[in-house]
Structure 1
Amino acid sequence: MLHALKEFFDHLTTSEPELAPAQQVQLATAVLLVEVMRADAGKTQAERQAVLALLQQRFALQGPALAQLVAQAEQSAEQAYDYHRFTASINDHCSQPQKLEIIESMWQVAYADAQLGAHEHQVISKIADLLYVTHGEYIGAKMRAKEAAGLV
């Protein structure tokens, strides 16, 4: 028991290498997209492909760099106990239009399999609040993503 506590506190105090702001935003965005994918109990290949395509388009990443970002995002998402670390990075380094693009991208992942799960909706709603996205902006992003998916 004491050994487990020591490991826990050691893990908390070890510092990860500091990422540049652009890398922080890339990782934070990737984690949020992965979280939408993870929220769907029946996570599909369509959602995974949407995550890859959105990250490739947004950050001009390809091949190994894209695969590494997604792997790191999946690991960070599994280890995270809340979204604050990721949303704080986005709030610190992104404009309001950039935040809206992230929320719209999250909706695109959710709609990639043509089904919106309740947990996906909940995750996006919570993150939109943490990014200070208004309800009107949130609904607008949702409708644009739904239309882009051909579900309107």
Structure 2
Amino acid sequence: MLNDFLNRLAGKPETPKTAEDERLALTALLVRIARSNWDYATTEVDTIDRILERRYGLDANAAADLRHDAEAVEAQANDTVQFTRAIKDNVEFEDREQVIEAMWELVLADGVRDAEEEGILRLIAPLLGVNDRDSALARQRVEARLKS
């Protein structure tokens, strides 16, 4: 599964990208954000699992399995663009703000706006076609939800 995903991201034309690629790519990006400050905390792992459960309708075990696969893919990946490309290929532009909201939820999960995590999110957003203003609005929506 992991090798198939990496081969598809490498651009082998005979293998189309799939919605499963989008799931793995988004999860790998979430893992990459969480690991960016060298502190992959339990709070972040739990938040990733909750995001996956909610976004994809997964149970706890399926979410943990997807995260586990994504951890391996993320560790092998040389860059972030391969993940953003898989998302752009499978997620409509209008729905990408929800992807950014999920990322902000992860960044803010521990109550701290970590510079490394925020920095990689600011790199990812434009790669997904989401501008700084819309990313900031997504962050504000997440902050409002977390306060309530």
**Unaligned ranges ≥5, structure 2:** 9-14
Question: How many matched pairs?
Answer: 139
Deviates more, 1:89-98 or 1:111-120: 89-98
- Quick one: distance in 2 between partners of 1:149 and 1:39? 22
The letter for the 1-side match of 2:54 is Q
**For residues 22-64 of structure 1, what are the alpha-carbon distances to aligned partners after superposition, in whole Å with 9 as ceiling and x for unaligned?**
1011001111111111113333221111100001100011244
- Quick one: distance in 2 between partners of 1:94 and 1:124? 17
Partner of 1:45: 42
The letter for the 1-side match of 2:59 is Q
**Unaligned ranges ≥5, structure 1:** 1-10
- Quick one: distance in 2 between partners of 1:40 and 1:51? 16
Partner of 1:145: 142
User: What's the CA shift for 1:115?
Assistant: 0.5
Partner of 2:129: 132
Partner of 1:35: 32
Q: Is the 8 A contact 2:33 2:107 kept in 1?
A: yes
**For residues 58-78 of structure 1, what are the alpha-carbon distances to aligned partners after superposition, in whole Å with 9 as ceiling and x for unaligned?**
001124422221011101111
Deviates more, 1:116-125 or 1:140-149: 140-149
- Quick one: distance in 1 between partners of 2:108 and 2:136? 14
The letter for the 2-side match of 1:149 is L
Q: Does 1:56 align with 2:37?
A: no
- Normalising to structure 1: TM-score of the pair? 0.82
- The 5-angstrom pairing of residues 1-150 of structure 1 reads 15=7, 21-150=18-147
Q: Is the 8 A contact 1:104 1:141 kept in 2?
A: yes
CA RMSD of aligned residues (A): 2.3
User: What's the CA shift for 1:20?
Assistant: 5.6
The letter for the 1-side match of 2:49 is L
- Quick one: distance in 1 between partners of 2:131 and 2:7? 34
